[in-house]
Amino acid sequence: QIVQTAECFHEGATETTARLQGVCLGDGLVLLDTPGLHSVTDENTALTQRFLDSADAVLWLTSSTSPGQVQELDELALELRRSKPLLPIITRSDCIEEDEIEGEIVRFLRNKTESNRALQETDVQKRAAQKLLLMGIDTALLQAPVSVSVHMARAQGLTIEAMAEAGFE
């Protein structure tokens, strides 16, 4: 059952999705957020697995703190063997910096540099391609990784410029 709502997605640092959440992007694309394959409950994992069957592509979210944990691809193998494209998304592509202001150390969050993002994206692309080869899956399904920082986009007001700087161009 599809229920339309103006409610924002549930989110948090730990698992908060216990049901499917989605957003319609145009007339023919629905982006679904599921609890994930590494859910804290078996029921949520089963819910995710049920909807993977009907997905046209797989977004592989991986944190920039430890990006590209390729063992996660083992659980996506069935979908990938069905020739579904795989788009790696490196999340939390930001970092904390410190600066001294008026004699006090001030910490602030900023987007990772373009060079740092490029290094991580290249590394994830290379390791994911190697893993797909080992799994006997066509590496042409692997799309170029994208690095994003939702926190920075929001902190800077979700402007077009902030969205681009946070990786959403």
pLDDT of residue 1: 59
User: 21 Cβ partners below 8 Å, 6+ apart?
Assistant: 9, 10, 32, 33
Q: pLDDT value at position 135?
A: 85
pTM over 0.85: no
Backbone conformation region of residue 159, classed left if phi is above 0, alpha if psi is from -120 to 50, else beta: beta
Question: Measured between alpha carbons, how far is 83 from 60 in angstroms, rounded to an integer?
Answer: 15
The beta strands (E) that lie in the chain are given as: 21-24, 30-33, 58-63, 86-91, 94-101, 104-111, 146-147
Provide the pLDDT for residue 18: 57
What's residue 144's pLDDT? 92
CA-wise closest residue to 123 among 70, 59, 169: 70
CA distance 94 to 132: 28
Q: What is the pLDDT along the chain (169 residues), one digit of tens a residue?
A: 566 667 666 555 555 555 667 777 666 677 777 777 667 778 877 777 777 777 788 888 888 887 777 777 777 777 778 888 888 888 888 888 888 888 888 888 888 888 888 998 998 899 888 888 888 888 998 899 988 888 888 787 888 888 888 787 7
Query: For 162, phi and psi rounded to 5 degrees?
Result: -65, -40
Give 135's DSSP letter.
T
